[in-house]
Amino acid sequence: MDIDLDQPAHVISDALASGNLTAAALMQATLDRIAARNPDLNAIVSLRDAETLMAEAATADATPRKGWLHGMPLAVKDLANVAGLPTTMGSPAFRDRIAPTSDIMVQRMQDAGAIVIGKTNTPEFGLGSHTFNPVFGATQNVYLPGRTAGGSSGGAAVALAAGMIAVADGSDMMGSLRNPAGWNGVYGMRPTWGRVPSEPLGDMMLHPLSTNGPMARHPRDIALLLDIMAGPDPRQPHGLDHDPLAPHLDADLTGRRIGWLGDWGGAYPMEDGVLDHCATQVARFTDLGCVVEGVPPPFAAGALWDSWITLRSYAVAASLGPLYDQPATRAALKDTAIWEIERGRALSASAVQRASLIRSDWFRAAARLFDDFDALVLPTAQCWPFPIDWTWPHSIAGHPMDTYHRWMEVVVPVSLIGLPSLAVPLPLSDGRPMGLQLIGRSRGDLGLLQLGQGWQALNAA
């Protein structure tokens, strides 16, 4: 059977539901695609035994459908737990760790019928927007061999773009659902913080920064997967109620106001060509009836960065501190992780409180901005994909980057205050991939997905 693995996930799901496609045939085609593409790309890791996967696909064909993911192969980011599979987090310290249970988000996808085939590659502990680690190595960009895939959901983005899976999960603290999506021509959504629950472990109150979310090749698939992932967990204090979004994607976008933030008034250095390409593409939203206009910087970029690196180091020190305290595991930590932990532990309570106040001020300022705009837009990255053997770009457009993550400062306005953001892919620029971050008001996830649906139609025409 000739199966088009590059078509949208909802089309594949419909074919399974109608009986025009079997889960067994889909699984075989998937394994064949992985065998053909993954050795070069290195996007999928910890791949399960083929005979076992084919048996599970046959079982899916013989049982009633559980949900729209029924019988569909899925690889889970190697920061999330899948019962019975390794969760290495890209670290030698966890190379042999097997998860006893699946995380909430993963279990929800399994309950909807997904067959987990393995994991997707990630940077060590998800730190840094470049997918490489000492356990599995580096993931290549799907368009540019020898260039980075971005990260930390780089394996997921590349697996999607190469047709090895049809939808994927990811997580985003500092652009990890947005940067790799933009660099590999797919969609990635950071939902409003609290919409997709994390695990009810450790501190659940102070300074949340990251969230899980969906990735796909089509906005409708993003919405369908988000509808599975989302919904509160009664064991956690900040969850949002969630009504299905996928039925409401198609909308008249006439008159929606889009604010183009560009390089934040020059605060964010951009590699040559990035800003011009993004500005040209943003203007195309007028073809959908939207109103596009430039927006001056709505908040001091320096204050946002100071708040961000304080709260990020504080959070990383809390999560990775136990590994630092044990000599055996400390020796396995990469330098940037040690830097974050030591920096976070050196912070005073007043410094953390000051960072939280800046964060609160920015949330209030952003809320006022959305009185005038339906969405704001920034590039998904400040540079084109860089050589895969770099650890990180040490300068952009002649401006030194003073930390391992400063080159991704453009994602901070969203991450700092938990706004929803949909990364949409752009047409290639001289063969180079880039994306746009569509940013919405808090809880405005649906409006962004509607814009994404319009963008998909515009580029498919």
Given the residues 77, 102, 129, 153, the one annotated as active site:
77
Residue 347 has what pLDDT?
98
Q: Which letter, b or e, does each residue of 217-244 get, where b requires 16 or more Cβ atoms within 10 Å of its Cβ?
A: bbbbbbbbbbbbbbbbbeebeebbebee
Given the residues 13, 102, 129, 152, the one annotated as active site:
152
Helices (H) and strands (E) in the chain, counts: 14, 15
pLDDT mean values, one per 10 residues, the chain (461 residues): 92 98 98 98 98 98 98 98 98 95 98 98 97 98 98 98 98 98 98 96 88 98 98 95 98 98 98 98 98 98 98 96 94 94 98 98 98 98 98 98 98 98 98 98 98 97 79
Assess contact for 42 and 121: CB atoms under 8 A.
yes
Catalytic-residue membership of 348: no
Given the residues 102, 129, 171, 176, the one annotated as active site:
176
3-state secondary structure of 450: helix
User: CA-to-CA distance for 31 and 43, rounded, in angstroms?
Assistant: 13
Among residues 250, 214, 237, 196, the alpha carbon closest in space to that of 114 is found at 214
Catalytic-residue membership of 46: no
User: CA-to-CA distance for 123 and 125, rounded, in angstroms?
Assistant: 6
Residues ≥6 apart with Cβ < 8 Å to 374: 256, 257, 258, 440, 447, 451
Catalytic-residue membership of 152: yes
Residue 260 has what pLDDT?
98
Residue 1 has what pLDDT?
63
Task: Return left, alpha or beta for 255; rule: phi > 0 is left, psi -120 to 50 is alpha, else beta.
Answer: left
How remote is the C-alpha of 263 from its chain's centroid?
21
Number of C-beta neighbours around residue 62 at 10 A: 9
């400062």: which residue's tokens? 409
Q: Tell me: domain 9-460, CATH 3.90.1300.10, correct?
A: yes
Question: Domain segments of the chain: what residues?
Answer: 9-460
Angle between helices 9-18 and 219-229 (to 10 degrees): 70
**Tokens at residue 356, please?**
């939280």
User: CA-to-CA distance for 350 and 289, rounded, in angstroms?
Assistant: 48
Residues ≥6 apart with Cβ < 8 Å to 301: 264, 265, 267, 268, 409
Residue 206 has what pLDDT?
85
3-state secondary structure of 22: coil
